[in-house]
Amino acid sequence: MKKELGIAILLLVVCIVLSICNPRFLTPFNLRNTGGLIGMYGIISIGMGLVIITRGIDLSVGSVFALEGVLLAIMLQEWHFVWPLACAIAIGLAMAIGWFHALLITRARLQPFIVTLCGFLIYRGLAMYIAHDESKGFGSQGYNFLRWVANKTAWGFPIPFVVLIIVAVATAVLLHKSVFGRHLYAVGHNEEAAIYSGINSKRIITLAYVINGLLVGIAAIIFAFQMNTVAPANHGLAFEMYAIAAAVLGGCSLWGGEGSILGIVIGAALLQVLQNLVNLLRIPTSLNLSVMGAVILAGVLADQFFSQRKRRIRAAVVEVQPGTTTTVNRA
C-alpha cells in the first residue's frame, strides 16, 4: 500500500496545484476529456504492467494501434463489416500478436525487448503499407455504439474511464487474488524456481502477453474513435512509453515480480494530468514530453529514497527476543 500512497499523494498534489493555477482544470469539459484519455492510456498501462511483472516488456503497443486502426477503418468503411465483427477481428489480431510474441519468448527463448522491438517496426510498416500511407477515417456516420464508447459519458463519467475501472477491477482480482496472479508473480521473480515448484511458466507468460493483447485491442478501438482518423505513420506513436512509464510509476519493477493494478492506474492518471498541466499552464507544448520525463524521473527517485529510508527505520524498530535463534539475513 505504501508505494501506491506515495504516488496517489503526488497525483492529489498536482491536481490541487493545477486547480489553483488554472481553475479551468476543474471544468466538466476538461475533466471529461482528461478522464477519457486516462481511460484509454490506463487500459494499455494495465496490460503493460502484467507483461512487466513477468520480467518482459512490450514495445509494440503503438504500432499495433496503428495496424489495428488501419484495419478497422478498412473493415468498416471499405468492406462494410458490421462493427461487432470488425472489432472481434481487430481484438483477435492484437491477441494473436501477443500470443506470437509469447511464442518467440518462451520457445525460441528470445528476449522480450528484441521481439517486441521488431514488432514495433514491423507492424507500423505493415500499417503504412496497407493504408498506402494515407490517413484513414471513420466518416461521420455509423457505428454509433463505438463512437459513444469512445467519446460519450455514462453517469457523468467518460465511458473509456468506466471501461478502465471495469478492466482494473477484473485484473486486480486476477492478479492479487487468483492462483494465476500468484503464479505470475512467482514466474516474474524467478522463473526457474517457479518451474521447480511445478508452475507452467510458458503458459503463464503466454497468458500475460495474450491478456495484454486483449487490452491493447480494446484500447486501440477506443483511441481510433477518439481520433476518428488513423494516420498510420504516427497513430499511437510511442504509446508503449506512456504505458511503461505508468506501470513503473505505479510500482512495477522492470526486473519483474512487482507491481499492483491500483498503482498502475494512478500512474496512468498522473501522466495524463501532467499533460493537462502543460496545456493549462501554457507551458510550451514542445516541452510536453520533457515535463513528463522529468516528473517520472523525480517520482522514481523519490520512491527509491523513501523505500530505502523506510527499510532502515523498520529494521531499527525490530526487537530480538532473547533465546531465539537469529533469523536476520545471513545467507
Partner 1 sequence: MASPFLEVRGVTKRFPGVLALDSVSLQVSQGEVLGLIGENGAGKSTLMKILGGIHQPDAGMILIEGRPTSIADVAQSNALGLGLIHQELNVLGNLDVGANIFLGREPLWGGPLKLIDRKKIRRDAEPFMHKLGLKISPAAPMRNLSLAQQQMVEIAKALSQNARLLIMDEPTSSLTLTETQRLLETIGELKRQGVGIIYISHRLGEVQLCADRVEVLRDGRNAGALMREEISHDRMIRLMVGRDLKSMYVAGAGAAGRGGLEVRGLVTRANPLQRISFTAHRGQILGLAGLVGAGRSEMAQAVFGVEPPLAGEILLDDAPLNIASPRDAIAAGIFLVPEDRRQTGLLVEMNIRENITLPGLEAATRWGMIQRKRERAIARRQADSLQLRAPNLEVKARNLSGGNQQKVVVAKWLALRPQVLIVDEPTRGIDVGAKAEVYRLLRGLADSGVAIIMISSDMEEVLAVSDRIAVMHEGAISGLLSRPQFSEEAVMRLAVGKTAA
CB of 200 to partner 1, least distance (A): 6
- 154 contacts partner 1 (rule: CB under 8 A): no
Considering only 123, 185, 223, 239, the residue that binds partner 1 (CB under 8 A) is: 185
Q: What would the x/- binding string for partner 1 be over residues 249 to 278, using CB under 8 A?
A: --------x---------------------
- 196 contacts partner 1 (rule: CB under 8 A): yes
Stretch that binds partner 1, among 47-55, 78-86, 177-185, 261-269 (CB under 8 A): 177-185
DSSP single-letter state for residue 99: H
- 138 contacts partner 1 (rule: CB under 8 A): no
Q: How far is CA 45 from CA 27, 75, 169, in A?
A: 26, 27, 14
Stretch that binds partner 1, among 76-84, 124-132, 210-218, 308-316 (CB under 8 A): 308-316
Amino acid at the residue 270: L
- 320 contacts partner 1 (rule: CB under 8 A): yes
CB of 258 to partner 1, least distance (A): 8
- 182 contacts partner 1 (rule: CB under 8 A): yes
Which CB atom, from 240 or from 303, has the smaller least distance to partner 1?
303
Residue with cell 472489432: 87
Geometric angle at alpha carbon 134, from 129 and 140, rounded to 5°: 130
Considering only 177, 287, 290, 308, the residue that binds partner 1 (CB under 8 A) is: 177
Distance in angstroms (rounded) separating the CA atoms of residues 213 and 94: 5
CB of 118 to partner 1, least distance (A): 25
Q: How far is CA 209 from CA 47, 118, 128, 138, 241, in A?
A: 8, 16, 24, 29, 17
Q: Is the Cβ–Cβ distance between 38 and 226 less than 8 Å?
A: no
CB of 184 to partner 1, least distance (A): 12
Distance in angstroms (rounded) separating the CA atoms of residues 155 and 131: 38
Considering only 197, 234, 285, 308, the residue that binds partner 1 (CB under 8 A) is: 197
Considering only 5, 13, 193, 281, the residue that binds partner 1 (CB under 8 A) is: 193
Q: How far is CA 108 from CA 112, 114, 188, in A?
A: 11, 12, 18
Distance in angstroms (rounded) separating the CA atoms of residues 314 and 318: 7
* Number of residues in contact with partner 1 under rule CB under 8 A: 36
Q: Is the Cβ–Cβ distance between 238 and 63 less than 8 Å?
A: no
CB of 1 to partner 1, least distance (A): 14
Stretch that binds partner 1, among 4-12, 243-251, 266-274, 314-322 (CB under 8 A): 314-322
Q: Is the Cβ–Cβ distance between 58 and 105 less than 8 Å?
A: no
